[in-house]
Amino acid sequence: MAHAQPAGRSGSGKDATARPVPGDGKIVLEQAEIARALTRIGHEIIERTRGAEQVILLGIPTRGVPLAARLAAGIQQVEGHPVPHGSLDITMYRDDLRLRPARALGRTQVPPDGIDGQIVVLVDDVLYSGRTVRAALDALNDLGRPRAVQLAVLVDRGHRELPIRPDYVGKNLPTAQHEVVRVLLTEVDGEDAVLLGVAGDAAGGRSR
């Protein structure tokens, strides 16, 4: 499969690649590009936080969690010290709980020393309306008082509904609201890819 496909590439994943892709939708990021984006975000975190000494990476389930773990591993490779990482489930803090049936909870796992006085970097796969991040900020509030909170996302697809902006972005992806962005990660889905499709395509995966 060719490397570094431009984002605006047309044609579906089916006919443009040798590898079958679950569901329909065009590939906007491939495995190598995701890896490169994460490496860059890792370096940006190190730069912005002066060595990432006091950084805690908290992934938002489901796909933010493996992303946080990958970022932590990447930063450790460069800086040589381990970076604590965990997960932050936001289900109980959502503002749309009453709009849908009660859903299963994810896991919140915070490093044992807590988050007080640390720089917490929230990690998620796709930034869309910003409501997930708002819920995450509320959830953090109940866990302690970090010195600062930053936001890292693999894909920023726009259409914010709240005054929230990311600090680290893997890829800015201009989308229409009827489009669906799906992030596939090896840890969850068996392979790495970011797909852009039209609503209704993404029956099997999480649509955002």
Partner 1 sequence: MNRHLISAADLSRDDALQVLDTADELARISDRPIKKLPTLRGRTVVNLFFEDSTRTRISFEAAAKRLSADVINFSAKGSSVAKGESLKDTALTLEAMGADAVVIRHNASGAPHRLAEWVRGSVINAGDGAHEHPTQALLDAFTIRRRFGRSSGSAGQAGRGGALDGLRVTIVGDILHSRVARSNVILLHTLGAEVLLVAPPTLLPVAVDTWPCAIDYDLDAALPKSDVVMMLRIQQERMNAAYFPSVREYSRRYGLDSARMAQLPERAIVMHPGPMNRGVEIAAGVADSPRSTVVEQVTNGVSVRMAVLYLLLGGAEGSQ
Residues that bind partner 1 (CB under 8 A): 61, 87, 89, 92-93, 97-108, 138, 142-144
What HEC string does 25-89 produce? CEEEECHHHHHHHHHHHHHHHHHHCCCCCCEEEEECCCCHHHHHHHHHHHHHHHHCCCCCEEECC
DSSP label at 200? T
Identify whether the C-beta of residue 46 lies closer than 8 Å to the C-beta of residue 72.
Answer: no
Contact between 205 and 23 (Cβ < 8 Å): yes
Distance of CA 117 to the CA centre of its chain: 24
